[in-house]
Protein backbone atom coordinates (compact mmCIF):
# COMPACT_ATOMS: atom_id res chain seq x y z
CA UNK A 1 0.00 0.00 0.00
CA UNK A 2 2.08 2.98 1.28
CA UNK A 3 1.21 6.66 1.56
CA UNK A 4 -1.02 8.48 -0.91
CA UNK A 5 2.08 10.01 -2.53
CA UNK A 6 3.76 6.59 -2.87
CA UNK A 7 0.64 5.13 -4.50
CA UNK A 8 0.52 8.09 -6.90
CA UNK A 9 4.24 7.69 -7.70
CA UNK A 10 3.66 4.02 -8.56
CA UNK A 11 0.67 4.91 -10.76
CA UNK A 12 2.82 7.46 -12.61
CA UNK A 13 5.72 5.03 -13.00
CA UNK A 14 3.47 2.34 -14.52
CA UNK A 15 2.88 4.76 -17.46
CA UNK A 16 6.02 6.90 -17.60
CA UNK A 17 8.56 4.06 -17.40
CA UNK A 18 7.82 3.45 -21.10
CA UNK A 19 9.30 6.87 -21.94
CA UNK A 20 12.36 6.61 -19.72
CA UNK A 21 11.15 8.12 -16.43
CA UNK A 22 12.67 6.57 -13.27
CA UNK A 23 10.79 5.78 -10.04
CA UNK A 24 12.62 8.74 -8.44
CA UNK A 25 11.44 11.10 -11.20
CA UNK A 26 7.85 9.95 -10.63
CA UNK A 27 8.14 10.36 -6.84
CA UNK A 28 9.28 13.97 -7.38
CA UNK A 29 6.17 14.99 -9.34
CA UNK A 30 3.64 12.81 -7.45
CA UNK A 31 2.69 15.52 -4.85
CA UNK A 32 1.93 17.96 -7.66
CA UNK A 33 -0.13 15.57 -9.82
CA UNK A 34 -2.07 14.58 -6.67
CA UNK A 35 -2.82 18.22 -5.87
CA UNK A 36 -3.89 18.96 -9.45
CA UNK A 37 -6.14 15.91 -9.61
CA UNK A 38 -7.79 16.79 -6.28
CA UNK A 39 -8.40 20.43 -7.27
CA UNK A 40 -9.79 19.23 -10.59
CA UNK A 41 -12.39 17.12 -8.80
CA UNK A 42 -13.26 19.80 -6.25
CA UNK A 43 -13.80 22.35 -9.03
CA UNK A 44 -15.53 19.91 -11.41
CA UNK A 45 -12.93 20.79 -14.05
CA UNK A 46 -11.70 18.63 -16.91
CA UNK A 47 -8.12 18.58 -18.21
CA UNK A 48 -7.58 18.03 -21.94
CA UNK A 49 -4.10 17.47 -23.37
CA UNK A 50 -2.98 17.57 -26.98
CA UNK A 51 -0.83 14.60 -28.06
CA UNK A 52 2.23 16.91 -28.22
CA UNK A 53 2.20 17.60 -24.47
CA UNK A 54 4.82 16.07 -22.18
CA UNK A 55 4.08 12.58 -20.77
CA UNK A 56 3.76 13.81 -17.14
CA UNK A 57 0.85 16.01 -18.29
CA UNK A 58 -0.72 13.42 -20.62
CA UNK A 59 -0.54 10.51 -18.16
CA UNK A 60 -0.34 12.36 -14.83
CA UNK A 61 -3.28 14.76 -14.94
CA UNK A 62 -5.12 14.72 -18.29
CA UNK A 63 -8.61 13.22 -18.50
CA UNK A 64 -8.49 13.07 -22.29
CA UNK A 65 -5.63 13.13 -24.83
CA UNK A 66 -6.24 13.82 -28.50
CA UNK A 67 -5.86 15.97 -31.59
CA UNK A 68 -6.95 19.56 -32.07
CA UNK A 69 -10.24 18.62 -33.70
CA UNK A 70 -11.27 15.77 -31.39
CA UNK A 71 -10.50 17.67 -28.19
CA UNK A 72 -12.45 20.80 -29.16
CA UNK A 73 -15.49 18.74 -30.12
CA UNK A 74 -15.16 16.76 -26.89
CA UNK A 75 -14.92 19.98 -24.85
CA UNK A 76 -18.34 20.90 -26.19
CA UNK A 77 -19.90 17.56 -25.21
CA UNK A 78 -18.37 17.14 -21.73
CA UNK A 79 -20.58 18.08 -18.75
CA UNK A 80 -17.83 20.05 -16.93
CA UNK A 81 -18.12 23.84 -17.08
CA UNK A 82 -14.39 24.43 -16.57
CA UNK A 83 -11.89 23.22 -19.17
CA UNK A 84 -8.12 23.34 -18.74
CA UNK A 85 -6.82 22.91 -22.28
CA UNK A 86 -3.16 21.88 -22.20
CA UNK A 87 -2.04 22.99 -25.63
CA UNK A 88 -1.24 26.08 -27.66
CA UNK A 89 -3.48 29.16 -27.45
CA UNK A 90 -5.40 28.68 -30.72
CA UNK A 91 -6.70 25.29 -29.54
CA UNK A 92 -8.04 26.86 -26.32
CA UNK A 93 -9.68 29.54 -28.47
CA UNK A 94 -11.30 26.90 -30.69
CA UNK A 95 -12.78 25.21 -27.61
CA UNK A 96 -14.07 28.59 -26.35
CA UNK A 97 -15.66 29.38 -29.74
CA UNK A 98 -17.49 26.05 -29.62
CA UNK A 99 -18.43 26.35 -25.90
CA UNK A 100 -18.70 30.08 -25.13
CA UNK A 101 -20.66 29.39 -21.95
CA UNK A 102 -17.76 27.41 -20.43
CA UNK A 103 -14.64 28.71 -18.68
CA UNK A 104 -11.74 27.70 -20.93
CA UNK A 105 -8.21 28.13 -19.60
CA UNK A 106 -4.79 27.46 -21.11
CA UNK A 107 -1.86 26.88 -18.72
CA UNK A 108 0.33 29.13 -20.92
CA UNK A 109 -0.76 31.42 -23.79
CA UNK A 110 1.62 29.54 -26.11
CA UNK A 111 1.88 30.49 -29.78
CA UNK A 112 2.32 28.45 -32.97
CA UNK A 113 4.45 29.41 -36.00
CA UNK A 114 1.49 28.77 -38.32
CA UNK A 115 -1.04 30.78 -36.30
CA UNK A 116 1.44 33.65 -35.99
CA UNK A 117 2.18 33.77 -39.72
CA UNK A 118 -1.09 35.46 -40.72
CA UNK A 119 -3.28 38.34 -39.52
CA UNK A 120 -6.94 39.22 -40.27
CA UNK A 121 -5.65 42.08 -42.50
CA UNK A 122 -3.64 39.54 -44.54
CA UNK A 123 -6.82 37.49 -45.14
CA UNK A 124 -8.75 40.57 -46.23
CA UNK A 125 -5.93 41.46 -48.66
CA UNK A 126 -5.96 37.92 -50.12
CA UNK A 127 -9.74 38.13 -50.62
CA UNK A 128 -9.37 41.47 -52.40
CA UNK A 129 -6.77 39.89 -54.71
CA UNK A 130 -8.89 36.76 -55.43
CA UNK A 131 -12.54 37.87 -55.06
CA UNK A 132 -14.08 34.70 -56.50
CA UNK A 133 -12.07 32.28 -54.30
CA UNK A 134 -13.34 30.52 -51.17
CA UNK A 135 -11.26 30.98 -48.02
CA UNK A 136 -10.39 27.85 -46.01
CA UNK A 137 -8.59 28.44 -42.70
CA UNK A 138 -6.67 25.63 -41.09
CA UNK A 139 -7.55 25.39 -37.40
CA UNK A 140 -3.99 26.53 -36.54
CA UNK A 141 -5.09 30.18 -36.76
CA UNK A 142 -6.27 32.81 -34.26
CA UNK A 143 -9.99 33.37 -33.64
CA UNK A 144 -9.66 36.74 -35.44
CA UNK A 145 -8.32 34.99 -38.57
CA UNK A 146 -11.00 32.27 -38.40
CA UNK A 147 -13.56 35.10 -38.31
CA UNK A 148 -12.37 36.21 -41.79
CA UNK A 149 -12.65 32.71 -43.34
CA UNK A 150 -15.56 31.01 -45.09
CA UNK A 151 -14.84 27.69 -43.42
CA UNK A 152 -12.31 26.09 -41.06
CA UNK A 153 -10.66 22.68 -41.36
CA UNK A 154 -8.25 20.54 -39.38
CA UNK A 155 -5.66 18.03 -40.53
CA UNK A 156 -8.31 15.37 -39.82
CA UNK A 157 -10.77 16.71 -42.45
CA UNK A 158 -8.87 19.15 -44.67
CA UNK A 159 -9.21 17.15 -47.92
CA UNK A 160 -12.93 16.61 -47.39
CA UNK A 161 -13.60 20.27 -46.58
CA UNK A 162 -11.64 21.64 -49.55
CA UNK A 163 -13.20 19.13 -51.96
CA UNK A 164 -16.71 20.06 -50.73
CA UNK A 165 -16.27 23.81 -51.29
CA UNK A 166 -18.38 25.14 -54.20
CA UNK A 167 -15.51 27.32 -55.53
CA UNK A 168 -12.77 25.96 -57.80
CA UNK A 169 -10.29 28.54 -56.49
CA UNK A 170 -9.45 28.11 -52.82
CA UNK A 171 -7.33 30.43 -50.70
CA UNK A 172 -5.83 28.00 -48.20
CA UNK A 173 -4.32 29.63 -45.09
CA UNK A 174 -1.81 29.58 -43.52
CA UNK A 175 0.15 26.33 -44.09
CA UNK A 176 1.99 26.42 -47.43
CA UNK A 177 3.06 22.78 -47.29
CA UNK A 178 -0.44 21.55 -46.49
CA UNK A 179 -1.72 23.73 -49.34
CA UNK A 180 0.81 22.16 -51.72
CA UNK A 181 -0.25 18.70 -50.51
CA UNK A 182 -3.87 19.69 -51.27
CA UNK A 183 -2.94 20.44 -54.87
CA UNK A 184 -2.13 16.74 -55.21
CA UNK A 185 -5.03 15.46 -53.12
CA UNK A 186 -7.86 17.58 -54.60
CA UNK A 187 -8.82 18.91 -58.04
CA UNK A 188 -8.88 22.51 -56.73
CA UNK A 189 -6.76 25.51 -57.65
CA UNK A 190 -5.08 26.19 -54.31
CA UNK A 191 -3.88 29.74 -53.60
CA UNK A 192 -1.14 29.56 -50.98
CA UNK A 193 0.07 31.53 -47.96
CA UNK A 194 3.68 31.18 -46.79
CA UNK A 195 3.11 29.83 -43.25
CA UNK A 196 5.21 26.88 -42.07
CA UNK A 197 5.21 24.66 -39.02
CA UNK A 198 8.71 25.01 -37.54
CA UNK A 199 8.62 21.36 -36.42
CA UNK A 200 7.32 19.61 -39.54
CA UNK A 201 9.27 21.69 -42.07
CA UNK A 202 12.48 20.16 -40.71
CA UNK A 203 11.77 16.61 -41.96
CA UNK A 204 13.42 15.96 -45.32
CA UNK A 205 13.19 13.28 -48.05
CA UNK A 206 16.85 12.47 -47.23
CA UNK A 207 15.87 11.60 -43.63
CA UNK A 208 13.06 9.36 -44.89
CA UNK A 209 15.46 7.59 -47.29
CA UNK A 210 18.12 7.15 -44.59
CA UNK A 211 15.64 5.62 -42.14
CA UNK A 212 14.34 3.22 -44.82
CA UNK A 213 17.88 2.10 -45.59
CA UNK A 214 18.79 1.61 -41.93
CA UNK A 215 15.52 -0.13 -40.98
CA UNK A 216 14.27 -2.22 -43.95
CA UNK A 217 10.50 -2.83 -43.68
CA UNK A 218 9.90 0.18 -41.39
CA UNK A 219 6.57 1.97 -41.87
CA UNK A 220 7.04 5.75 -42.04
CA UNK A 221 4.20 8.08 -41.07
CA UNK A 222 4.12 11.89 -41.46
CA UNK A 223 1.87 14.74 -40.42
CA UNK A 224 0.33 16.54 -43.42
CA UNK A 225 2.18 19.70 -42.31
CA UNK A 226 5.36 18.07 -43.74
CA UNK A 227 6.57 19.08 -47.20
CA UNK A 228 5.10 17.40 -50.32
CA UNK A 229 8.53 15.81 -50.94
CA UNK A 230 8.27 14.04 -47.57
CA UNK A 231 4.55 13.21 -47.88
CA UNK A 232 5.22 11.60 -51.30
CA UNK A 233 7.80 9.23 -49.78
CA UNK A 234 6.03 8.01 -46.63
CA UNK A 235 3.64 5.11 -46.15
CA UNK A 236 0.92 7.26 -44.60
CA UNK A 237 0.28 10.98 -44.05
CA UNK A 238 -2.47 12.39 -41.83
CA UNK A 239 -3.41 14.09 -38.58
CA UNK A 240 -1.99 13.07 -35.20
CA UNK A 241 -5.05 10.91 -34.48
CA UNK A 242 -4.98 9.32 -37.92
CA UNK A 243 -1.33 8.32 -37.32
CA UNK A 244 -2.25 6.85 -33.91
CA UNK A 245 -5.08 4.86 -35.50
CA UNK A 246 -2.82 3.65 -38.32
CA UNK A 247 -0.36 2.20 -35.80
CA UNK A 248 -3.11 0.76 -33.60
CA UNK A 249 -4.63 -1.10 -36.57
CA UNK A 250 -1.33 -2.17 -38.15
CA UNK A 251 0.25 -5.59 -37.69
CA UNK A 252 3.68 -4.02 -38.38
CA UNK A 253 5.98 -3.47 -35.44
CA UNK A 254 8.52 -0.87 -36.53
CA UNK A 255 7.58 2.74 -37.28
CA UNK A 256 9.10 6.16 -37.79
CA UNK A 257 6.91 9.21 -37.14
CA UNK A 258 7.77 12.46 -38.92
CA UNK A 259 6.04 14.59 -36.30
CA UNK A 260 6.35 16.01 -32.77
CA UNK A 261 7.90 13.82 -30.06
CA UNK A 262 4.75 13.88 -27.90
CA UNK A 263 3.12 11.50 -30.35
CA UNK A 264 6.03 9.06 -30.23
CA UNK A 265 5.78 9.24 -26.41
CA UNK A 266 2.10 8.27 -26.73
CA UNK A 267 2.89 5.30 -28.97
CA UNK A 268 5.64 4.08 -26.62
CA UNK A 269 3.30 4.36 -23.62
CA UNK A 270 0.06 3.07 -25.11
CA UNK A 271 1.50 0.48 -27.52
CA UNK A 272 4.74 -0.65 -25.82
CA UNK A 273 5.01 -3.63 -28.19
CA UNK A 274 5.51 -1.23 -31.15
CA UNK A 275 9.04 -0.09 -31.89
CA UNK A 276 9.70 3.57 -32.82
CA UNK A 277 12.90 4.35 -34.76
CA UNK A 278 14.46 7.53 -36.20
CA UNK A 279 14.02 11.01 -34.81
CA UNK A 280 11.07 13.22 -33.92
CA UNK A 281 10.83 17.01 -33.47
CA UNK A 282 10.11 19.14 -30.39
CA UNK A 283 7.54 21.94 -30.60
CA UNK A 284 8.87 24.73 -28.35
CA UNK A 285 5.37 26.21 -28.06
CA UNK A 286 3.67 22.99 -26.94
CA UNK A 287 6.53 22.27 -24.55
CA UNK A 288 6.16 25.65 -22.77
CA UNK A 289 3.44 24.09 -20.62
CA UNK A 290 4.44 22.49 -17.31
CA UNK A 291 2.53 20.94 -14.39
CA UNK A 292 3.11 24.08 -12.29
CA UNK A 293 1.21 26.16 -14.88
CA UNK A 294 -1.77 23.80 -14.65
CA UNK A 295 -1.71 24.18 -10.88
CA UNK A 296 -1.78 27.99 -11.23
CA UNK A 297 -4.67 27.79 -13.68
CA UNK A 298 -6.65 25.85 -11.07
CA UNK A 299 -5.61 27.77 -7.96
CA UNK A 300 -5.32 31.40 -9.07
CA UNK A 301 -5.63 31.80 -12.86
CA UNK A 302 -3.94 34.83 -14.39
CA UNK A 303 -5.78 36.91 -16.99
CA UNK A 304 -3.57 35.52 -19.78
CA UNK A 305 -4.62 31.95 -18.87
CA UNK A 306 -8.33 32.70 -19.26
CA UNK A 307 -9.51 32.58 -22.87
CA UNK A 308 -11.67 35.57 -23.81
CA UNK A 309 -12.77 36.42 -27.34
CA UNK A 310 -14.74 39.55 -28.33
CA UNK A 311 -18.33 38.51 -29.03
CA UNK A 312 -18.44 39.71 -32.64
CA UNK A 313 -15.20 37.81 -33.46
CA UNK A 314 -16.45 34.71 -31.67
CA UNK A 315 -19.72 34.69 -33.64
CA UNK A 316 -17.98 35.05 -37.01
CA UNK A 317 -15.36 32.42 -36.16
CA UNK A 318 -18.16 30.11 -34.99
CA UNK A 319 -19.81 30.45 -38.40
CA UNK A 320 -16.62 29.17 -40.07
CA UNK A 321 -16.39 26.21 -37.67
CA UNK A 322 -20.10 25.39 -38.08
CA UNK A 323 -19.62 25.37 -41.86
CA UNK A 324 -16.82 22.83 -41.35
CA UNK A 325 -19.20 20.58 -39.38
CA UNK A 326 -21.88 21.00 -42.06
CA UNK A 327 -19.47 20.07 -44.88
CA UNK A 328 -18.26 16.97 -43.02
CA UNK A 329 -21.60 15.94 -41.45
CA UNK A 330 -21.95 12.96 -43.78
CA UNK A 331 -18.59 11.45 -42.74
CA UNK A 332 -19.15 12.23 -39.05
CA UNK A 333 -22.47 10.41 -39.22
CA UNK A 334 -20.82 7.38 -40.87
CA UNK A 335 -18.00 7.36 -38.26
CA UNK A 336 -20.52 7.57 -35.40
CA UNK A 337 -22.33 4.47 -36.73
CA UNK A 338 -19.14 2.37 -36.71
P1 LIG B 1 -3.54 17.90 -35.14
O2 LIG B 1 -4.66 18.73 -35.69
O3 LIG B 1 -3.24 16.71 -35.95
O4 LIG B 1 -3.78 17.63 -33.70
O5 LIG B 1 -2.22 18.77 -35.25
C6 LIG B 1 -2.12 20.02 -34.67
C7 LIG B 1 -0.77 20.54 -34.82
O8 LIG B 1 -0.45 21.57 -34.29
C9 LIG B 1 0.17 19.79 -35.64
O10 LIG B 1 1.39 20.41 -35.65
FE1 LIG C 1 2.24 24.96 -34.41
FE2 LIG C 1 3.93 23.21 -35.52
FE3 LIG C 1 3.84 23.46 -32.89
FE4 LIG C 1 1.80 22.30 -34.22
S5 LIG C 1 3.88 21.54 -34.03
S6 LIG C 1 1.65 23.83 -32.58
S7 LIG C 1 1.79 23.55 -36.09
S8 LIG C 1 4.47 25.03 -34.36
Residue 68 burial class via C-beta count within 10 angstroms: exposed 0-12, middle 13-18, buried 19 and up: buried
Query: pLDDT tens, 109-144?
Result: 999 999 999 999 999 999 999 999 999 999 999 999
Residue minimizing CA distance to atom 3 of ligand 2: 283
Q: Verify whether ligand 1 is closer than 6 Å to residue 117 (CB atom).
A: no
Q: Which of 48, 52, 286 to mutate to test the pocket of ligand 1 (most atoms within 8 A of CB)?
A: 52
Q: What is the CATH number of domain 200-282?
A: 3.40.50.10800
Judge whether 2-110+287-299 and 115-197+310-337 match in fold: yes
CATH of 2-110+287-299, one of 3.40.50.1580, 3.40.50.720, 3.40.50.10800, 3.30.43.10: 3.40.50.10800
Q: Is the pLDDT of residue 12 over 90?
A: yes
Q: Where are the alpha helices (DSSP H) in 199-309?
A: 205-214, 228-231, 240-249, 261-270, 291-299
- State residue 285's pLDDT score: 98
Asked whether 135 and 126 are in contact (CB, 8 A), the reply is yes
**3-class DSSP assignment, residue 254:** strand
Torsion (CA) 90, 93, 98, 104 in degrees, nearest 10: 130
Confidence band for 334, pLDDT divided at 50, 70 and 90: low
Q: Verify whether ligand 2 is closer than 6 Å to residue 133 (CB atom).
A: no
Considering the segment(s) 115-197+310-337 as one domain, its CATH architecture is 3-Layer(aba) Sandwich (3.40)
Question: What's the chain's average pLDDT?
Answer: 95
Residue minimizing CA distance to atom 8 of ligand 1: 140
Q: What percent of the chain has pLDDT over 90?
A: 94
d(CA 17, ligand 2 centre) in Å:
26
Query: pLDDT tens, 237-291?
Result: 999 999 999 999 999 999 999 999 999 999 999 999 999 999 999 999 999 999 9
- State residue 154's pLDDT score: 94
Bigger pLDDT: 146 vs 334: 146
Q: What is the mean pLDDT of residues 85-89?
A: 98
Q: What are phi and psi of 221, to 5 degrees?
A: -120, 145
- State residue 127's pLDDT score: 98
Query: pLDDT tens, 53-66?
Result: 999 999 999 999 99
d(C-alpha 322, C-alpha 151), whole Å: 8
Query: pLDDT tens, 196-230?
Result: 999 999 999 999 999 999 999 999 999 999 999 99
Q: What is the mean pLDDT of residues 326-335?
A: 73
- State residue 2's pLDDT score: 76
d(CA 139, ligand 1 centre) in Å:
9
- State residue 337's pLDDT score: 40
- State residue 338's pLDDT score: 38
Q: Is the pLDDT of residue 308 over 60?
A: yes
Of the candidates 47, 26, 50, 33, the one whose C-alpha atom is nearest the C-alpha of residue 263 is 50
All structural domains of the chain with their residue ranges: 2-110+287-299, 115-197+310-337, 200-282
Q: What is the mean pLDDT of residues 160-189?
A: 96
Q: Verify whether ligand 2 is closer than 6 Å to residue 93 (CB atom).
A: no
d(C-alpha 322, C-alpha 28), whole Å: 44
d(C-alpha 152, C-alpha 24), whole Å: 45
Q: Which of 285, 287, 288 to mutate to test the pocket of ligand 2 (most atoms within 8 A of CB)?
A: 285
Query: pLDDT tens, 285-300?
Result: 999 999 999 999 999 9
Amino acid sequence: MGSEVEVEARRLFSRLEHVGWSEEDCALIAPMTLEINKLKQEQDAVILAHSYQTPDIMYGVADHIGDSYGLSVLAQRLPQKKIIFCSVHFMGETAKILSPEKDVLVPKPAGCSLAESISPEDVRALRAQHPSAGVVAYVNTSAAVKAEADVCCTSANVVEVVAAMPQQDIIFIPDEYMGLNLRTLTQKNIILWQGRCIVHKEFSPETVAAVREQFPGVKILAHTECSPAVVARVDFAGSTSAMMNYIKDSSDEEFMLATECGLTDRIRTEFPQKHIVGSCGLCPYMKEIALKDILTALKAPTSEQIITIPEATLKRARRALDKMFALTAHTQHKKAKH
